[in-house]
Structure 1
């Protein structure tokens, strides 16, 4: 799984760039509130994806058969956290809701696109290679 987690660095790098772009776009669209809300949404998406990767990798060390279950649990947990975050933003700073939500969407799209490009270019064996050779 160590090789398969190699996408974390490029995904975080692209998410950082996306957060900077989101800050500018948020500022242009909604002023000062958008300037912090949009990159906060990107950060929430990036941290959610990275947390899922770490959780699945941790459970893989216990038993490979548990990885799908952990992936589904972390997916459900991410949705709950995102909904709670959106509700909190809506109830505390209503003007920030739209930039924050778009930041989450943008962060998810950027992360998944970067991960897909990395997976397409990666040389990951689909069989277990003998370590003794």
Structure 2
């Protein structure tokens, strides 16, 4: 799994670039509030994806059969957290909700596109051969 987590570094780099782009676009369209909210949305998406990777990798160390349940659990937790954060932002800083949402979408697209490009180029064996046969 260590090899398969090699996409984290490029994904974080692209997410950092996406956060800067989101801040500029958010600033131009919604002022200072849009700038920080859009960048925060990108960060929220990146941290959510990375958290899932780390949680699934941890579950894999215990037992490979735990990876799917862990992925589903982390997805549920992330969804609940994002919805809670959106609700809090809507109540406290309503002008930040739309830029935050666009930032989350942009961050998710940037992360997933980077991960797909990395996986396409990676040389990861798709079967594991038993070394003790």
With structure 1 as the length reference, what TM-score do the two structures score? 0.96
Q: Secondary structure at the match of 1:126?
A: coil
Q: Secondary structure at the match of 1:123?
A: coil
C-alpha distance in 2 between matches for 1:111 and 1:7: 10
* Cα offset, 1:94, TM superposition: 0.4
Corresponding residue SS for 2:24: helix
Q: State the partner residue of 1:124.
A: 124
Aligned Cα RMSD in Å? 1.2
Runs of 4+ in 1 over 6 A off after TM superposition: none
Matched with 1:48 is 48
Tell me, yes or no, if structure 1 residue 29 matches structure 2 residue 24: no
Partner of 1:93: 93
Partner Cα separation in structure 1 for residue 15 and residue 66 of structure 2: 28
Q: What's the counterpart of residue 113 of structure 1?
A: 113
Alignment partners' CA distance in 2, 1:131 and 1:86? 49
Unaligned 5+ segments in structure 1 are none
Look up the SS of the partner of 2:125 in the other structure.
coil
Q: When the two structures are aligned, how many residues end up with a matched partner?
A: 132
Give the Å deviation of 1:33: 0.4
User: What is the match of residue 57 of structure 1?
Assistant: 57
* Deviation per residue, 1:78-126 (Å, 9 max, x gap): 1001001101110100000000000001101110110001001100011
Structure 2 alignment gaps of length 5 or more: none
Q: Give the deviation of 1:129 after TM superposition.
A: 4.6
Following the alignment from structure 1 to structure 2, what is the Cα–Cα distance between the partners of residues 89 and 82?
A: 10
